[in-house]
């Protein structure tokens, strides 16, 4: 393949990877393509003009170059796949990056939380990174997703109903499950809501309708 064809392929790949919600490639491959195109075209500014992405956004993609090898591997495996998460992680020490990555994968730390971590670390340099992480986790607002549902008159075993939800989202992701009279209330953590939504999608149902389906099963 000649140089021109190669360059055109890189441009096509970069456009596909930066304009779509579902990127075909991982962030490491995207950063590598940006660098190759930068070498061919001479500057990041020219890359930006060629693919129509502002230079700041390109720099965010290049943040993967500042990750420690272990975290880089997680990005390669697409366990961490959000560009803003990688961007906010770049300035932390390798040990801190590893801890943050673990929390991100477990769904306990969001991009916003990592953004909050950096200035806090500057103000509280004596605190270890795990204490800072826990400080941020304990300070953020708690998000709870609530689904109300009608329990059929014939259904008396609410324990079995609760177990059906636990089987799908996991026990830890149910904040509370109550049934008063015919009205049931299911409260989920954001992770629980996400899991339930994914399963609902597989059944080709909206989240709300999927809850009803489980209740009526």
Partner 1 sequence: MGISERIYSIPLKHIRISECNARLTDKKIGIEELAQSIKRHGLLQPVTLRGSYGNPPYELIVGQRRYHAHRLIPKSTIEAVFCGDINDWEAKILSLTENMHRVELNHADKAEAITALYLHYNRNDRRVSRELDIPLRTVRDYIKIEEQATAKAKRLLREGRIRKADVKRVIDAAQGDTNKADRLLDKMPYLSKYEKSRAVRYSQSHPKASFEEIIEVSQKQVIETTIILSLPKEIVIALNKAAYKLSMDRESVARKALSDWLENKGFLKGQI
Contact residues toward partner 1 (CB under 8 A) are 115-116, 119-120, 123-124, 135-136, 138-148, 193, 206-209, 211-212
* Angstrom distances, CA of residue 100 to CA of 36, 74, 144: 29, 12, 23
Distance CA 203, CA 182 (A): 26
For 75-106, give the DSSP string.
HHTTSS--HHHHHHHTTS-HHHHHHHHHHHHT
Minimum Å distance from CB 176 to partner 1?
Answer: 11
Closer to partner 1 by CB, 53 or 196: give it.
Answer: 196
Closer to partner 1 by CB, 37 or 136: give it.
Answer: 136
Minimum Å distance from CB 180 to partner 1?
Answer: 17
Closer to partner 1 by CB, 74 or 92: give it.
Answer: 92
Q: Taking a C-beta distance cutoff of 8 angstroms, is the pair 76, 101 a contact?
A: no
Closer to partner 1 by CB, 36 or 135: give it.
Answer: 135
Closer to partner 1 by CB, 30 or 210: give it.
Answer: 210
Query: Please, what is the angle between helix 69-76 and helix 94-105, to 10°?
Result: 30
Minimum Å distance from CB 99 to partner 1?
Answer: 17
Distance CA 124, CA 126 (A): 6
Task: Mention every residue, 6+ apart, whose C-beta is less than 8 A from residue 10.
Answer: 33, 36, 37, 40
What does R_g of the chain's alpha carbons equal in angstroms? 23
Minimum Å distance from CB 93 to partner 1?
Answer: 20
* Block residue for tokens 């995207």: 30
Minimum Å distance from CB 129 to partner 1?
Answer: 14
């Amino acid at each position: 393949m000649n140089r021109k064809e190669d360059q055109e392929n890189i441009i096509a790949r970069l456009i596909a990877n930066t304009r779509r919600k579902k990127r075909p490639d991982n962030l490491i491959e995207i950063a590598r393509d940006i660098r190759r195109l930068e070498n061919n075209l001479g500057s990041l500014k020219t890359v930006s003009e060629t693919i129509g992405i502002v230079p700041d956004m390109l720099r965010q993609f290049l943040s993967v170059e500042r990750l420690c090898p272990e975290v880089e591997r997680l990005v390669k495996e697409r366990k961490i796949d959000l560009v803003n998460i990688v961007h906010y992680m770049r300035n932390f020490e390798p040990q801190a990056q590893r801890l943050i990555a673990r929390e991100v994968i477990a769904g306990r730390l969001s991009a916003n939380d990592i953004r909050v971590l950096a200035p806090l670390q500057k103000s509280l340099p004596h605190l270890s990174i795990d204490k800072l992480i826990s400080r941020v986790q304990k300070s953020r607002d708690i998000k709870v997703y609530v689904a109300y549902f009608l329990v059929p008159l014939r259904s008396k075993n609410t324990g079995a109903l609760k177990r059906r939800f636990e089987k799908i989202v996991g026990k830890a992701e149910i904040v509370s499950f109550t049934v008063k009279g015919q009205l049931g209330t299911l409260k989920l953590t954001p992770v629980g809501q996400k899991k339930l939504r994914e399963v609902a999608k597989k059944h080709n149902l909206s989240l709300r309708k999927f809850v009803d389906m489980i209740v009526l099963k």
